[in-house]
Amino acid sequence: MLLEDFLDLLGHKVAHIVASLSDGLDAIASGGFDAAILDVNLAQDKCWPLADALEAAGIPYIFATGGGDTIPPLHADAPTLAKPYTTASLEAALDRLG
């Protein structure tokens, strides 16, 4: 099951799916969403610039990771979602957003 399916099961709507930093920054600038789930490894980049932009915009976020990634200190309080995802682990991460 895909992450989008889990979100749907939990009653959430996916507003944007992006595959690059530039697309992510465009999505943040356009708004229309109230939280984000960031895959730490986004194509050839890390998602840290997106987390910085979300932080500046006051939009809460979750890091999705397969493990082994060190979260920068500025973002250490953000919830993490370990791969492989389960509905329960996603729900717990979303609950941490408040």
Which residue range forms the structural domain that includes residue 24?
Answer: 3-97
pLDDT of residue 1: 59
* Contact status, residue 35 vs residue 95, Cβ threshold 8 Å: no
Total domains in the fold of the chain: 1
Question: Is residue 69 over pLDDT 80?
Answer: yes
Q: H/E element holding 54? A: helix 48-57
- In our burial notation (b when 16+ CB lie closer than 10 A, e otherwise), range 29-46 reads eeeeeeebbbbbebeeeb
* Model confidence at 11: pLDDT above 70: yes
Q: What percentage of the chain exceeds 70 in pLDDT?
A: 99
- The pLDDT-based confidence of 15 (bands split at 50, 70, 90) is very high
- Is the distance from CB of 63 to CB of 79 less than 8 angstroms? yes
CATH number at residue 7: 3.40.50.2300
The tokens 């895959």 sit on which residue?
39
